[in-house]
Amino acid sequence: MDIAFIGMGIMGKPMAVNLRKAGHTVFVHGRRAVSMVQPVEAGCAGCTTIAEAAAQAEIIIVMVSDTPDVEQVLFGDAGVAQGAKPGSVVVDMSTISPTATRAFAEKLQARGIDMLDAPVSGGDVGAINATLSIMVGGKPEVFERVKPVFEAMGKNIVRVGDIGAGQVAKACNQIVVAVTIEGVAEALTFARKNGVDPARVRDALMGGFAGSRILEVHGKRMLDNDYTPGFKTKLHQKDINIVMQTAKELGLALPGAALVMQHLNALMGTGNGELDSAAVMKIVERESGMER
């Protein structure tokens, strides 16, 4: 297929390269020309503007940072809406607001362009190895059309529901991850304050009901006091902000997520936005005077 790929960041670059490897024709656009060098070396065609890439494609993938960025890419000057042909499909794989997603889809539909939201989980490793989990919202027939494209980038590909449902699933993912990080941080701090080795506690918990990927991966980062990312605090804060904004729109109480939001805010405020979000542990420790 002819595919446009907008956003050459940590995730976008390897995803575009994997599409090329699968035999698709890929037109890439990165805001900074230097970000297109590697994908172009891998056989993708570099485009100066977003509209230029979109005009040549039947499927237009967007992988940028936040809700306002997706809006700018879609509807800004020389953006997707100015280039895309009626009958093409926009696939937004960024993690953004489900409410804004539905509004974007409506505006595109008025121009004869379909949209899927398809945020991912699995990190840069999943993007490089084409093993991402992809959570999709949109019409079933549009999903079927794009499915072979998803299969070149991911493994667990689920159409969750109508437009916005992929972003809702991703928000659910981020609630579980954030609240579990908080629980693991509190448990390991509780162990240490009791004079019990938190590493041994983690070993003991791994096989039981408290066992999880978060206890395994993030728990290890906490024990090592090494918060090399991973998934950066600033991105986790963005995602929990999406959760809290949506909860506000719906009149929904999410006290667990709200509490972790405060700890992510405190991490950002202490200059730790680039650390892995397992660094929530630092705030938990600081609150009880247990800094290491």
**What are the residue numbers of the active site?**
170
CA 116 to chain centre: 15
Beta-carbon neighbour count of residue 60 at 10 Å?
Answer: 30
Q: How far apart are CA 254 and CA 248, in angstroms?
A: 9
Shortest CB 67 distance to ligand NAP, Å: 9
Contact status: 10 vs ligand NAP (CB under 6 A): yes
11 binds ligand NAP (CB under 6 A): yes
Quick check: 46 binds ligand NAP (CB under 6 A)?
no
Q: How far is CA 210 from the centre of its chain?
A: 25
Q: Counting contacts by CB under 6 A, is residue 105 touching ligand NAP?
A: no
**Residue 155 engages ligand NAP in binding (rule: CB under 6 A):** no
Interface characters, 232-271, with ligand NAP (x: CB under 6 A): ---x------------------------------------
Instruction: Please report whether residue 79 would count as binding ligand NAP according to CB under 6 A.
Output: no
H/E segment holding residue 198: helix 198-206
Site membership for ligand NAP, residue 64 (CB under 6 A): yes
Query: Which residue sits closest to ligand NAP, CB atoms considered?
Result: 9
* Residues 81, 112 contacting (CB under 8 angstroms): no
Which span (58-66, 105-113, 192-200, 208-216) binds ligand NAP, by CB under 6 A?
Answer: 58-66
Q: Does 146 bind ligand NAP (CB under 6 A)?
A: no
Left (φ > 0), alpha (ψ -120 to 50) or beta: where does 237 sit?
alpha
Q: Which is nearer to ligand NAP, 126 or 138 (CB)?
A: 126
Computed over its alpha carbons, how large is the radius of gyration of the chain? 20
Cβ–Cβ under 8 Å, residues 81 and 53: no
Alpha-carbon separation of residue 189 from 24, 140, 181, 266 (angstroms): 50, 47, 12, 18
State the distance between the two ends of the chain, measured CA to CA, in whole angstroms: 53
Residue 52 found at the interface with ligand NAP (CB under 6 A) = no
| Among positions 18, 88, 95, 167, the unique one binding ligand NAP when judged by CB under 6 A | 95
Number of residues forming the site for ligand NAP (CB under 6 A):
24
Question: 250-268 burial, b for 16+ CB within 10 Å, e for fewer?
Answer: eeeebeebeebbebbeebe
**If binding is defined by CB under 6 A, does position 61 make contact with ligand NAP?**
no
- Which residues sit at the interface with ligand NAP, rule CB under 6 A? 7-12, 30-32, 35, 63-65, 69, 72-73, 94-95, 120-121, 123-124, 231, 235
